[in-house]
Structure 1
Amino acid sequence: MKIIIAGAGEVGFHLAKLLSYESQEITLIDPDKKGLAYADTHLDIRTVKGDATSIAILREARVDSCELFIAVTSSESINITVCVLAKQLGATKTIARISNTEFIHYKDEVGFTKFGIDELISPEALAAAEIELSLKQSSFDENYEFEDGALTMAGLTLPRSASFVGKTVKQAAEIFPEIHFVPIAIQRFGTQYTIIPRGNTKFKRGDTVVFITSEGGADELCRLTGKENRAIKDVMILGGSQIGYKTARDLSEKGFNAKLLEGNRDRAFEIADELTKVLVINSDGRNVDVLEEENIAQMDAFIAVGPNSETNIMSCLVAKSKGVKKTIALVENMDYFDLSHSIGIDTLINKKLLAANNIFRYIRRGEVVAMTKLSNLNAELLEFEVKANSAVCNKTIKSINFPITAIIGGVIRNGVGMIALGSFKIQEGDRVVVCCLLKSIKTVEKLFV
């Protein structure tokens, strides 16, 4: 696929890197020579120096043969303008990064597609939504919802107390036949290998296991693993960035008691004026004494979304040491994901990864509705819509020639999520959630084309 990315900032560069690994034909446009030079020497991509709003530059990038145009510069207005131009010059599909989430809310009413913009993404809004979901499913390390929670992905590390530790998947299914969850990926403790579980796969203490749950499955999973899905009410947020602001606003509107710490006086007063339900404190939240003065020990959750990843991590560790049960840190360095659980932080959020997940579904073949990469695991979760001519249509799961490194986690039919086992028959219009290792993605895609 021929893809053009406008903007070589942190999101653009990360996207170019991930997409180049997929052997896509990538062109990166940016006016900054230094940023382009780094990308040119580190990635197998083509670079074009110049202003992406220039028609001449877009033509130099061969926009007329572009299948996917992604505008992710730091300027919302530039991204919108560039996508409109790209569409008029022949780009098949366009995606614009925006910061004003009103555009997403009123997308259909305004009719952005009529202007030439097929999709709008806001990394900040995605991060705020991810934080909210992590608080909702507080006992799990990783979460993702399909179709507003019809099916939910939940990841956790198995403690010794888990009822099915030492048992195979088949044995666990026989002991707990009425459960509403199924394991879809396992990473053994101390290894980097991802296993797609089969009937004879044994659960072991310390395994990082990703499950798909239907309604009620999350509570069952907590009960069988000895986890407690604690109700979270009191939340402290460190940092008044766009993500901090959106998180505080959304949580306060949903009844949480939100307290936000912001060191910049002007920014703190600005947020306080706009968010009347949030207690905004103009103070440096990196100071342990300040955190104690603000009763951090009484908080149910601590969310660090400041501009510095290391500060966010250290602040979460301080919160943990004071007894806070749920900690969430915003990080920019992808390498930190491997360390998150070993150093004691519950959830890490990365804007670049969230944006990439949102965009990646457009390069997958088949009717991909949603997609997410599993943190620390060499696997993807894809939601496909079944068409009448799909190879899986009107077939039972056990009769489909599915690769051994992939598994169907569940099916959403008419808005209802179901854990689908071997005798389940897939129908046109079903939305099928599949977990697969990267090497089997192309094989899986062919089944849903």
Structure 2
Amino acid sequence: MYIIIVGAGKLGYQLSETFSLKENDVTLIDINDEALQKANSSIDLLTINSNGMNLEVMKEINIETADLLIAVTNRDETNMVIATMAKKMGCKKVIARIRNPENTSQIKHFMEHLCIDYVCNPELEVAKEVGKILLKIEAVNMEDFAKGRVSMFEYKLTSESDWINKPLWKLTLPNRSLIVAVLRNGEMTVPNGETVLSEDDIVFLIGVKEELEKHSKSELHLPPSRKTKRVMVLGGGRAAFYLAKILTKSGVIVKIIERDKERCKELANSLSEALIIHGDATNIDLLLEEGFTDMDGVVLFTGFDEENILLSMLAKKHKIPKIITKVSKLNYVNIIDELGIEIAINPVLLSASEITRYLNGGRILSIAMLLGGHAEVMEIIAQEGSKIIDKPLHKLDLPKGIIIGAVVKGKKVYIPDGKTVIHPGDRVVVFCMKEDLSKIEPYFYKTKRGILNELWNSSKNHR
């Protein structure tokens, strides 16, 4: 595919990296030469220093032949204009980032009248993800696949765990489950039967949701998760606004602490059911006065990663049950587990996942990016004619970094072994290390033009 990305910020960079790994032709446009040089130094792409609304530049790069344009500059209006212009000039599909809540309420109108195919909103996606975590009752981090029948659970091992200091082949795992990855000292690896687990390792299991939940309660001795009734949000940006809307609808009492007085007024006018407090989130006396230690959940949404990380450690010290930290800098993601931060949200990775899911046209039903994008878990529908079907897995010689964690046939979930045979239409949950992403294609897709090309053609045929 020929993909044009306008905007070389964090999301533009992440998307450029993601798509370039899948043998696409990627062009990145921005007026910031430093951002372009950074991308050029580590990504195989073409960079152009220009305004994305420059018609002559768009003609020079043959916009009419482009399969996709993604506009992710820092202005909603600019993104909408660029996307619409590209579509009118012949680009097959266009995506625009729209973040302002006032614009978000009109997204359907924009998509219909401005010919925009898809809109991404990082702050809204963050709020949805955080809301899901706060409102769920499980005491572990979890991602659902196959309409909730298959889950990926994330366990951090303690000194009391029966799993430490033993090779994997000696462990008693939950029924119908498989350990697909181990995170140790910020490095993720795919284990084998001889891998020995250690205290503070984070293990990723894929299996039948009910079995994993039962195991987490009976054998891992995890503390029960109480219902979330009170949440304090530190930082009153757009993500806080969207989150407050979600939580108050579910009857949760929400307090937002924001240092900007004018922003407090805006929030108070639009969030009648939340309590808005003007103050500095780093003022510990203020936090204690407002009931910080009595909260069921604390969400760190300040504009500074360092503040969010330090405040999350304070919340952990006070044993607040659910602590969720927004971390915008991708290079911080790798050290989060070292600091004991259990739930970190990265807006860039969430948005990249949503855009990838949209582009995959329905064949990849869900996708989770792990550890700063260094691994992915995908739910793929097996198709006729692909290499993965109609033969035992042990004959496929899958690369070490690709693990098939579960196969769903109709309503039945199977944890595969070497004898498992996948048939067309089966849902396959696949764990894959970043460096092996391109190796998935020969197994799951009939053509050699890349996953996105294959899925793109599929989505066009079903419109």
CA distance in 1 between partners of 2:259 and 2:186 (Å): 40
The equivalent of 1:153 in structure 2 is 152
Does the aligned pair in 2 maintain the 1:366–1:445 contact within 8 Å?
Answer: no
The equivalent of 1:121 in structure 2 is 120
The equivalent of 1:58 in structure 2 is 58
Residue 67 (structure 1) shift: 2.8
- The 5 Å alignment of 1:383-422 reads 383-398=379-394, 400-413=396-409, 416=411, 418-422=413-417
SS of equivalent to 1:64: helix
Does the aligned pair in 2 maintain the 1:301–1:324 contact within 8 Å?
Answer: yes
CA distance in 2 between partners of 1:346 and 1:253 (Å): 26
Q: What is the number of residues matched between the two proteins?
A: 441
SS of equivalent to 1:348: strand
CA distance in 2 between partners of 1:420 and 1:324 (Å): 36
Residue 195 (structure 1) shift: 2.9
CA gap of 1:397–1:125, structure 2 versus 1, over 3 A, is farther
CA distance in 1 between partners of 2:354 and 2:439 (Å): 21
CA distance in 2 between partners of 1:409 and 1:114 (Å): 43
Match of 2:189 among 191, 195, 200: 195
The equivalent of 1:372 in structure 2 is 368
Residue 191 (structure 1) shift: 6.6
- The 5 Å alignment of 1:27-426 reads 27-32=27-32, 35-36=35-36, 39=39, 44-99=44-99, 112=111, 116-135=115-134, 136=136, 139-140=139-140, 142-146=141-145, 149-172=148-171, 175=172, 179-187=175-183, 189-190=184-185, 192=187, 194-223=188-217, 224-231=219-226, 232-360=228-356, 367-375=363-371, 378-398=374-394, 400-413=396-409, 416=411, 418-422=413-417, 424-426=420-422
Residue 377 (structure 1) shift: 7.7
SS of equivalent to 1:380: strand
Residue 121 (structure 1) shift: 1.5
Does the aligned pair in 2 maintain the 1:104–1:120 contact within 8 Å?
Answer: no
CA distance in 2 between partners of 1:220 and 1:134 (Å): 19
Residue 155 (structure 1) shift: 1.8
SS of equivalent to 2:148: coil
Letter in 2 for 1:442: S
Does the aligned pair in 2 maintain the 1:7–1:72 contact within 8 Å?
Answer: yes
Letter in 2 for 1:313: I
CA RMSD of aligned residues (A): 3.3
SS of equivalent to 1:311: helix
CA gap of 1:399–1:436, structure 2 versus 1, over 3 A, is same
Residue 71 (structure 1) shift: 1.0
SS of equivalent to 1:235: strand
CA distance in 2 between partners of 1:425 and 1:357 (Å): 29
CA distance in 1 between partners of 2:14 and 2:78 (Å): 19
CA gap of 1:180–1:238, structure 2 versus 1, over 3 A, is farther
Does the aligned pair in 1 maintain the 2:150–2:406 contact within 8 Å?
Answer: yes
Name the TM-score, length of structure 1 as normaliser.
0.86
SS of equivalent to 2:209: coil
Residue 183 (structure 1) shift: 1.4
Does the aligned pair in 1 maintain the 2:330–2:372 contact within 8 Å?
Answer: no
SS of equivalent to 2:353: helix
CA distance in 1 between partners of 2:126 and 2:65 (Å): 33
CA gap of 1:113–1:427, structure 2 versus 1, over 3 A, is farther
Name which of structure 1's ranges 120-129 and 395-404 shifts more when overlaid on structure 2.
395-404
Does the aligned pair in 1 maintain the 2:298–2:315 contact within 8 Å?
Answer: yes
Cα deviation, 1:401-439, whole Å, max 9, x if unaligned, reads: 43333211123455x572422255433322211012234
CA gap of 1:99–1:89, structure 2 versus 1, over 3 A, is same
Name the TM-score, length of structure 2 as normaliser.
0.83
CA distance in 2 between partners of 1:382 and 1:195 (Å): 17
